Amino acid sequence: MHNKTLKELSDLLHAKKISATELASLFLARIEASDLNAFLHVDKGLTLQQAANADKRLAAGDATVLTGIPIAHKDIFVTRDWRSTAASKMLENYVSPFDATVVEQFNQAGTVTLGKLNCDEFAMGSSNENSYFGAVKNPWDKTAIPGGSSGGSAAAIAACLTPAATATDTGGSIRQPAALCGVTGIKPTYGRVSRYGMIAFASSLDQGGPIAKTAEDCGLLLNAMCGFDPRDSTSIERETEDFTRNLHQPLQGLRIGIPKEYFGEGLAADVEQAVRAALQEFEKLGATLVDISLPKTELSIPTYYVIAPAEASSNLSRFDGVRYGYRANDYKDLADMYRKTRSEGFGDEVKRRILVGAYVLSHGYYDAYYVQAQKIRRLIAQDFQQVLSGPDKQCDVIMGPVAPTVAWDLGSKADDPVANYLADIFTLSTSLAGLPGMSVPCGFGQGEKNSKRPVGLQIIGNYFDEARLLNVAHQYQQVTDWHQRKPAGI
């Protein structure tokens, strides 16, 4: 039962072949037996109460496609009953008085919350090693990182601890962990999913999205997640749509852009081989490959690591020990309390980004760094528009690798933060442009000691083109079985 997709479980629930309570109990037992450190807070009583309520809705015929489906939330979305820690000592015991909009939407749909998922502290990282509560292990190889910052979400799906999970993507934090754990994830267009109740990292980049086993499952989850929210000033007012409406549309005539910048120096041979094999499958499905160029790709890393830390330094100024969260025990005055609280409450990576952000926003450096980075960000977005739209449109979607390598070993890059930053080279530009992008499993590469580690194919579309991306991914998953592969023992 735990191997089934969200869609399959929904069909069983509506056919009364299993109850929401039975399903929740099954996954709670799997979570309890797991040693991946994917979950930060589980409350069996709360979960089973939600399951009982879902069973009542199913019995009364008042159910949605998601009613009774177990789901887990990345611990960056605040929740009324479960702790909301952002994987930080600063919020170690914090319980929110309200639910994030995303959590509200899933509650209204009748999903059953299994708990809160581990992540990099305040969503800052590419390996999930920055969590105050310890690193998450990759189910495919427990000596490897699961990717980040949504590593708990991706690992929990891969290990069948939950059929669905929420996640967030600031610079690739849905796509990269999905790729490294062999599952499917999608980052929608910026503004599609409300950020209200999402603990902020970089406000102009943060975007919620789902991780699941299949593209079809991600579409069903997006149907619940997306929608205008007046409480979020960046939320886009747009008519609701069914993201699964085009899943079965054939790909005959689809033009796939292949950026030369995504296949150059630094891309591991085993990753390139898996991605190239996936592209051949699309040709068999009737698509045409088109060589394109995204010349500003190499500028995405310095641009992102100016803009994101700048916004983080502003957003995280609220964590000062005064109103909520951790407070230092021993201090002389208010200024000393601020210093000690933030020094003790934040981890090294968070402090590193706050310092960088404060520097680039400081007097004399704002124009030289932050303003220039925003100008380059616009040029990066223009690169995409030149190939995806207008009279000279070259392609319908763009494809390439999600990450330059398979998952690396836990601790292997702990002393080199820049090496972690470079792992985001293929995902950052999409986030800077605000475009939708997703990752689908497309093969395996070799890890240490010849271990098998997943490779993800990245699919990027134009603004509000999520339905097309899901169609493209779904058609690929109908002729391949990479998304059905499971780690040993699962």
Do the Cβ atoms of 406 and 445 come closer than 8 Å? Answer: yes
Q: What is the CA radius of gyration of the chain?
A: 21
DSSP sequence for 264-329 = STT--HHHHHHHHHHHHHHHHTT-EEEEE--TTGGGHHHHHHHHHHHHHHHHGGG-SSSSSS---S
Q: Is position 221 within any domain?
A: yes
CA 489 to chain centre: 25
Exposed, middle or buried: residue 452 (CB in 10 Å: 0-12, 13-18, 19+)? middle
Tens of pLDDT along 61-84? 999 999 999 999 999 999 999 999
- Residue 298 domain flag: no
Predicted confidence at residue 446, as pLDDT, reads 87
Cα 19-21-22 angle, rounded to 5 deg = 65
Calculate what percentage of the chain has a pLDDT beyond 90. Answer: 93
To 10 degrees, what angle do helices 269-284 and 466-479 make? 90
Q: Facing residues of 438 across strands?
A: 186, 459
Give residue for tokens 């220039």: 372
- Residue 472 placed within a domain: no
Residue 338, SS3 per DSSP: helix
What is the pLDDT at residue 417?
86
Q: Say which CATH number the domain at 29 has.
A: 3.90.1300.10
How far is residue 49's CA from residue 28's CA, in Å, rounded to a whole number? 13
| From 19, 126, 127, 149, active-site residue | 149
* Predicted TM-score of the model (pTM): 0.96
- Clarify whether 149 is annotated catalytic: yes
Digit-coded pLDDT (tens) for 100-149: 999 999 999 999 999 999 999 999 999 999 999 999 999 999 999 999 99
Tell me, yes or no, if 74 is annotated catalytic. Answer: yes
For the stretch 333-383, pLDDT in tens is 999 999 999 999 999 999 999 999 999 999 889 999 999 999 999 999 999
pLDDT at 480: 98
Out of 88, 131, 150, 173, which one is annotated catalytic? 173
- 30 lies in a domain? yes
Is residue 230, in this structure, part of any structural domain at all? yes
Q: Which residue has the tokens 């290990």?
A: 159
Residue 416: is its pLDDT beyond 90? no
Closest C-alpha among 189, 188, 186 to residue 211:
186
Stretch among 160-169, 182-191, 216-225, 449-458 having the lowest mean pLDDT: 449-458
Which residue from 213, 270, 117 is spatially nearest to 486, judged by alpha carbons?
A: 213
pLDDT, averaged across the chain:
96
Q: Looking at residues 267-280, what average pLDDT do you find? A: 97
Please, are residues 303 and 271 in contact by the beta-carbon 8 Å criterion? no
Whether 31 and 161 have beta carbons less than 8 Å apart is answered as yes
Query: Per-residue confidence at 436, pLDDT binned at 50, 70, 90?
Result: very high
Residue 22's domain spans which residues?
A: 6-250
Residue 106 has what pLDDT?
98
If one counts every other C-beta atom within 10 angstroms of the C-beta of residue 330, the result is: 7
Q: Would you say residue 448 has pLDDT above 80? A: no
pLDDT of residue 415: 83
**388 found inside a domain:** no
Determine the pLDDT at residue 23: 98
Q: What are phi and psi of 107, to 5 degrees?
A: -60, -40
- In-domain check, residue 215: yes
- The answer to whether residue 475 sits within a structural domain is no
Verify whether residue 314 is a known catalytic residue: no
Res 447: pLDDT:
75
Q: How far, in Å, are 40, 180, 318, 321 from residue 325 at the CA level?
A: 17, 32, 10, 6
**Per-residue model confidence (pLDDT) at position 303:** 97
pLDDT, position 293: 97
Q: Which residues contact 378 (CB under 8 A, 6 or more apart)?
A: none
User: Which one of the listed residues 74, 89, 137, 213 is annotated catalytic?
Assistant: 74
How many CB atoms lie under 10 A from the CB of residue 290? 14
pLDDT tens, residue by residue, 9-46: 999 999 999 999 999 999 999 999 999 999 999 999 99
Name the domain count of the chain.
1
Q: What is the pLDDT of residue 418?
A: 84
Q: Is the pLDDT of residue 450 over 80?
A: no
